[in-house]
């Protein structure tokens, strides 16, 4: 029991040091030496927990992605698409997104370090793929395919929507007094069904005006 507590304590020290250093110096400039000195542990102690710095980063990022994938449970969601109404699907998607946001909120400082401006840009790519999977599930149900519209190429349309969702999360993480997870989940769900003009409260523009 004492050994387990010591491991947990060391893990917390390493994590706290990592978060502080990423925010202070940026992920690329953080070294194992920085972490051990800030956490006040020996290098040998660090290497008992992680192989190297990339292993530490991968540990935190994979932990996040595994939790999200478990929350999504795509097989269960796909069955839900077939068995329930659109309103029920929207509630399920809201619940799923809320779980993801709740998880981020529970480890807010780590998420801010990884996804923030000083974090890992490759992690953003992984998160965008995850958000794209959610988007595709929604489109499969509503339209029967992943095509967003006939005016913008599919890859650009997906990039616009997924980047918008990720930017909402990044803005939330950057706030000193962030909104509740429930509020952010609600905002994300609302943006799924509103046009930019709807979101900004702008009245509809006549399509003919683009031809003048």
Flag whether 212 is in a domain: no
Query: How confident is the model over 151-192, as pLDDT tens digits?
Result: 678 788 888 888 888 999 999 999 999 999 999 988 988 887
Which of 15, 30, 50 terminates a domain? The answer is 50
Phi and psi at 145, nearest 5°, equal -160, 175
Full-model pTM: 0.76
Query: How confident is the model over 46-60, as pLDDT tens digits?
Result: 999 999 999 999 999
Do 41 and 57 have their domain in common? no
**What burial class does residue 193 get, using C-beta atoms within 10 Å of its C-beta: 0-12 exposed, 13-18 middle, 19+ buried?**
exposed
Phi and psi at 180, nearest 5°, equal -70, 155
- Comparing 78 with 198, the larger pLDDT belongs to 198
For the ranges 139-143, 161-165, 194-198, the maximum mean pLDDT occurs at 161-165
Do 166 and 98 have their domain in common? yes
Flag whether 13 is in a domain: yes
Domain that holds residue 46: 1-50
Q: Is residue 88 over pLDDT 70?
A: no
Do 4 and 106 have their domain in common? no
Flag whether 132 is in a domain: yes
How many domains in the chain?
A: 2
Flag whether 211 is in a domain: no
- Comparing 78 with 87, the larger pLDDT belongs to 87
Do 73 and 128 have their domain in common? yes
Do 79 and 29 have their domain in common? no
Q: Output the domain CATH number for residue 60.
A: 1.10.357
Mean pLDDT for all residues in the chain? 80
Do 126 and 156 have their domain in common? yes
- Comparing 58 with 70, the larger pLDDT belongs to 58
Q: Which two three-digit tokens encode residue 128?
A: 């965008």
Flag whether 205 is in a domain: no
Is the CB of residue 68 less than 8 Å from the CB of residue 103? yes
Do 21 and 113 have their domain in common? no
How confident is the model at residue 148, as a pLDDT?
A: 52
Is the CB of residue 15 less than 8 Å from the CB of residue 110? yes
- The share of the chain scoring above pLDDT 90, in percent, equals 43
């Amino acid at each position: 029991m004492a050994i387990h507590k010591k491991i947990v304590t060391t893990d917390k020290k390493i994590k706290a040091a990592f978060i502080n250093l990423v925010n202070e110096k940026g992920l690329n400039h953080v070294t194992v030496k920085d972490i051990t000195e800030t956490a006040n542990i020996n290098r040998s102690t660090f290497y008992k927990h992680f192989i190297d710095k990339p292993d530490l980063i991968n540990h935190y990022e994979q932990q996040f992605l595994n939790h999200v994938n478990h929350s999504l449970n795509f097989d269960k969601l796909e069955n839900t698409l077939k068995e329930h109404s659109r309103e029920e699907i929207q509630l399920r998607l809201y619940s799923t997104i809320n779980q993801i946001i709740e998880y981020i909120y529970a480890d807010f400082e780590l998420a801010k370090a990884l996804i923030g401006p000083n974090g890992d840009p490759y992690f953003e790519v992984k998160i965008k793929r995850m958000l794209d999977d959610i988007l595709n599930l929604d489109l499969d149900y509503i339209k029967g395919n992943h095509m967003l519209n006939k005016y913008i190429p599919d890859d650009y349309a997906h990039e616009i929507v997924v980047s918008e969702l990720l930017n909402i999360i990044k803005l939330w993480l950057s706030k000193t007094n962030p909104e509740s997870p429930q509020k952010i989940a609600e905002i994300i769900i609302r943006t799924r069904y509103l046009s930019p003009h709807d979101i900004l409260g702008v009245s509809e523009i006549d399509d003919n005006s683009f031809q003048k």
